[in-house]
Amino acid sequence: MKRQIFKKEHDMFRKTFRSYLKDKIIPFYEEWEDACMIPREVWQEAGKNDFLCPTAEEKYGGAGGDFLYSVVIAEELNYHGLSSVFWPLHSDIVLPYIELYGNEEQKKKWIPGCISGETILAVAMTEPDAGSDLANLSTTAVRDGDHYIVNGSKIFISNGQLADLCVVAVRTSETEKSYAGVSLLVIESNRKGYRKGNNLKKIGMHAQDTSEIFFDDCRVPVENLLGKEGEGFIYLMQKLQQERLVIAIGACAAAEGTLDITLDYVKNRKLFGKPLGKFQNTRFTLAEIATKVQLARSFLDDLIPRHMAGENVAREVSMAKYWLTEMQFDVADKCLQMFGGYGYMSEYLISRFFVDARVQRIYGGANEVLKEVIARELKI
């Protein structure tokens, strides 16, 4: 079905990007899953092909495309079960902090490397004790002349091993309103006192490096402050709309990919002398799944243009992230069941769709938290 939000140039870009994935990413993905890391060279190659930061301004070396190019990239990665390729985090979640809150000097210094893939980005908010409760974070940045002295730790940091540049939420002051003392520092990973911990072992998304980060008297120049001191909490809240939308987009695409490989399987797999797809349970289950996926797609294709137009759709985006990630996991679970014992084997793509789906309900705001956000918007 032709999707009205895309123009001809977006469709052409999708065709090119899909071909790139089939030639350069999919054949090697299992190796990266085993290594628990995607080689840095893969990022650099993506940069050469304009697949990183597609919306970055031309004056910094970017293509200056609209957000729909990012949508295409997120959809294709997730549709093909390549969710560990965290280019959307780099391009659409972390880079916008620099683009929106950075000064011109900072933009010229950092953005070109992000576009080329020479500089890999991460964002560090979550802490071992506070989780994602930013108002109570304990990583401190104490002013010492023209530097901040940073101490503390972060956990579950995506791109944590590969990252060259990390946007870090720190506490720069103690105030009555604890969120008012939060600031954002951009910290280079090669600074003394910046230490990468273990590449954490996960039940899914094995090729994505997820790490602990420690700061031990790490001296960071004041010029690395992003925006204004004490405004970090506000900045983080302002960017959650796009972050959660990106997660929802990936969830819908992954559900579509899961459905399509299952449709192919049930047409060919025989049970009791006839294709599995001829049994009523199979047909009804897949009909229900296809309906949910189509409804999700329609919801997203309404939300995306509204987000691009600058509309405040925080409530709707919270709904999308919560409902679509729940749907994604339910689809993966029900489809895996149709593969029988083969579905539990890691050599089958359905098993990756299943394990990779689980974390979607946690990061970017746990779904229980998002239900609370929605309830507040309902004035209850």
Q: What is the pLDDT of residues 40-78, one digit of tens each?
A: 999 999 999 999 999 999 999 999 999 999 999 999 999
Q: Are residues 102 and 127 in the same domain?
A: no
* Beta strands 274-275; 194-199: pairing state: unpaired
Among the ranges given (158-162, 267-271, 283-287, 320-324), the one the predictor scored with the smallest mean pLDDT = 267-271
Q: What is the pLDDT of residue 270?
A: 86
Q: Per-residue pLDDT averaged across 323-342, rounded?
A: 97
Say what the pLDDT of residue 87 is. Answer: 98
Would 2 be classed as within a structural domain?
Answer: no
Note whether residue 292 is domain-resident. Answer: yes
Same domain, 108 and 202: no
User: What domain count does the chain have?
Assistant: 3
Picking from 99, 119, 139, the residue at the C-terminal end of a domain is 119
Mark whether 62 and 142 lie in a shared domain. Answer: no
pLDDT tens per residue across span 78-136: 999 999 999 999 999 999 999 999 999 999 999 999 999 999 999 999 999 876 677 77
For residues 134 and 61, membership in a common domain is answered with no
Q: Return the active site residues.
A: 243
Q: What is the pLDDT of residue 119?
A: 98
177 and 156 housed in the same domain? yes
256 and 349 belong to one structural domain: yes
- Structural domain ending residue among the three candidates 200, 230, 260: 230
Instruction: For residue 362, tell me if it sits in a domain.
Output: yes
Query: CATH number of the domain that 72 lies in?
Result: 1.10.540.10
| Unique residue bearing structure tokens 């273990």 | 198
Task: State the pLDDT at residue 131.
Answer: 67
pLDDT digits (tens, 9 = 90+) for 275-310: 999 999 999 999 999 999 999 999 999 999 999 999
> What beta strand segments (E) does the chain contain?
121-124, 140-144, 147-158, 165-171, 182-188, 194-199, 210-221, 225-226, 270-271, 274-275
**Are both 176 and 246 inside the same structural domain?**
no
pLDDT value of residue 219: 98
What pTM was estimated for this model as a whole? 0.95
Torsion of CA 169, 170, 174, 175, to 10 degrees: -20
Residue pLDDT, tens place only, 202-254: 999 999 999 999 999 999 999 999 999 999 999 988 889 999 999 999 999 99
Q: Would you tell me the crossing angle of helices 314-338 and 280-308 to the nearest 10 degrees?
A: 160
In whole angstroms, what is the distance from residue 213 CA to residue 246 CA? 24
Distance CA 166, CA 215 (A): 12
- Residue 45 is predicted with a pLDDT of 98
Q: Is residue 30 part of a domain?
A: yes
Same domain, 348 and 253: yes
3-state helix, strand, coil in the chain (%, to 5): 55, 15, 30
d(CA 145, CA 231): 20
State yes or no: pLDDT of 168 exceeds 80. yes
> Per residue in 149-163, pLDDT tens?
999 999 999 999 999
Backbone torsions φ then ψ of 237, nearest 5 degrees: -65, -35
For residue 217, the domain's CATH number is 2.40.110.10
Question: Is pLDDT above 70 for 177?
Answer: no
Judge whether 159 lies within some domain. yes
Q: Do residues 72 and 98 share a domain?
A: yes
Range of the domain at 16: 8-119
Q: Is residue 343 part of a domain?
A: yes
Is position 1 within any domain? Answer: no
Average pLDDT, the chain: 95
pLDDT of residue 132: 64
- Work out the pLDDT band at 180, boundaries 50, 70, 90: confident
210 with 139, same domain? yes
Distance CA 10, CA 4 (A): 11
Q: Which residues contact 349 (CB under 8 A, 6 or more apart)?
A: 81, 261
Q: Are residues 344 and 258 in the same domain?
A: yes
Instruction: Output the pLDDT for position 179.
Output: 75
DSSP 345: S
DSSP class of residue 68? H
Does 188 share its domain with 257? no
Give me the CATH number covering residue 331. 1.20.140.10
Which is nearest to 68 in space by CA: 307, 292, 363? 307
Residue 3 lies in a domain: no
Please say which residue of 119, 141, 173 terminates a domain: 119
